[in-house]
């Protein structure tokens, strides 16, 4: 838009305002939804309610953190939902050895899928969307081969992981917050984080600069796989059942939505962890609002679509800048 009528200063202000809106629009969205809900939703302002929303958003958020890393490296990880299913299968299969061993096996399984993803992308040069699509199909299949049907989890440690709390804050939420802080730290303060962003910005340039592109890419997908596996374990703990058929269904889309709505550009080179957290919370609040007011389920999908379109519109403006 070249508006000649406006003075330079006004345009600068407008640009700044637009940029602020793009960067913090998602936070604004969360704030607006909170205010609207406080005003119109009965029993919204209760600790129990916030607890429910936080517990429900935790697995999505953890998956979205890994997704943010993949998107930051100018890729995407479609296999996260299947990794959750795989992790719940592995968890159930190994629970006989105790929770910690089972948890370790589940996370290793997720990491292994990550290695496969990363190797396909970094060494063979398959497009991330295709490579992870392959693992998405294979992972779900493998999960169902390992555990053909839903199985209840009786392990008391798992049950307390799913529903217990520390000082009133559920373990699930604490784990999600800790992981978000960890990922934010990794992205901002470590060599790996910088390398990841450089690769996302421009892979040829990163290569020319002598960065270990392949190793970093593999590590990115290993992180994404491991995080998805953790989310799978937590979701299993909450449900106290392993359900590889439906666990993690469409999770990749929720995660991508959270990341994109949170202001991380799909073109890579930038990761906004705070925005991703807000993005996941925004979608959760939106869904909760519509469910609490008993609006038809199809509305939820439409509302999510509107939010995604708005986010993509903002991203377009950002790209033009």
* Cα distance between residue 277 and residue 279, in whole Å: 5
CB within 8 Å of 43: residues ≥ 6 apart: 49
Note whether 112 binds another protein by CB under 8 A.
yes
CB 94, min distance to another protein, A: 6
Note whether 251 binds another protein by CB under 8 A.
no
Tell me how many residues contact another protein (CB under 8 A): 70
- Tokens 């629970």 locate to 95
CB 149, min distance to another protein, A: 5
Shorter beta-carbon distance to another protein: residue 3 or 48: 48
Q: Distance from CA of residue 51 to its chain's centroid?
A: 19
According to CB under 8 A, which one of 93, 104, 174, 177 is a site residue for another protein? 93
CB within 8 Å of 168: residues ≥ 6 apart: 47
Sketch the per residue contact string, 130 through 149, with another protein: x for CB under 8 A, - otherwise.
Answer: --------x---x-xxx-xx
- Identify which of 37, 40, 62, 23 has the alpha carbon closest to the alpha carbon of residue 224: 62
According to CB under 8 A, which one of 71, 120, 187, 256 is a site residue for another protein? 120
* Cα distance between residue 139 and residue 45, in whole Å: 40
Considering only residues 197-226, where is the footprint of another protein by CB under 8 A?
Answer: 197-198, 206, 209-212, 214
* Cα distance between residue 120 and residue 45, in whole Å: 48
Largest CA distance in the chain: 73
- Identify which of 97, 96, 85 has the alpha carbon closest to the alpha carbon of residue 149: 85
According to CB under 8 A, which one of 1, 3, 43, 100 is a site residue for another protein? 43
Binding region for another protein (CB under 8 A): 41-44, 46, 48-49, 52, 56, 89-90, 92-97, 105, 109, 112-113, 115-116, 119-120, 122-124, 138, 142, 144-146, 148-155, 163, 191, 194-195, 197-198, 206, 209-212, 214, 235, 238-241, 243, 245-247, 249, 288, 291-294, 297-298
């Amino acid at each position: 838009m070249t508006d000649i009528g406006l003075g330079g200063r006004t345009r600068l202000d407008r640009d700044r305002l637009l940029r602020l809106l793009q960067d913090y629009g998602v936070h604004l969205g969360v704030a607006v939804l909170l205010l609207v809900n406080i005003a119109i939703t009965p029993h919204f302002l209760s600790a129990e309610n916030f607890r429910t929303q936080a517990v429900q958003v935790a697995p999505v958020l953890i998956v979205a953190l890994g997704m943010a890393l993949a998107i930051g490296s100018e890729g995407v990880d479609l296999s996260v939902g299947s990794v959750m299913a795989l992790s719940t299968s592995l968890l159930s299969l190994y629970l006989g050895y105790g929770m910690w061993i089972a948890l370790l096996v589940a996370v290793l399984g997720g990491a292994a899928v990550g290695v496969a993803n990363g190797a396909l992308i970094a060494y063979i040069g398959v497009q991330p969307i295709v490579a992870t699509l392959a693992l998405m199909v294979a992972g779900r299949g493998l999960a169902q081969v390992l555990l053909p049907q839903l199985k209840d989890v009786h392990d008391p440690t798992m049950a307390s992981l799913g529903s217990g709390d520390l000082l009133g804050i559920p373990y699930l939420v604490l784990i999600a917050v800790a992981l978000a802080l960890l990922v934010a730290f990794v992205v901002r303060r470590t060599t790996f984080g910088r390398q990841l962003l450089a690769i996302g910005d421009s892979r040829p340039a990163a290569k020319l600069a002598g960065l270990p592109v392949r190793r970093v890419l593999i590590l990115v997908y290993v992180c994404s796989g491991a995080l998805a596996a953790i989310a799978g374990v937590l979701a299993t703990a909450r449900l106290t059942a392993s359900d590889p058929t439906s666990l993690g269904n469409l999770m990749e889309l929720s995660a991508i939505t959270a990341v994109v709505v949170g202001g991380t550009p799909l073109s890579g080179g930038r990761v906004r962890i705070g925005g991703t957290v807000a993005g996941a919370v925004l979608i959760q609040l939106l869904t909760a609002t519509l469910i609490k007011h008993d609006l038809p389920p199809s509305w939820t999908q439409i509302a999510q679509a509107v939010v995604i379109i708005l986010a993509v519109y903002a991203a377009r403006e950002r790209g033009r800048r």
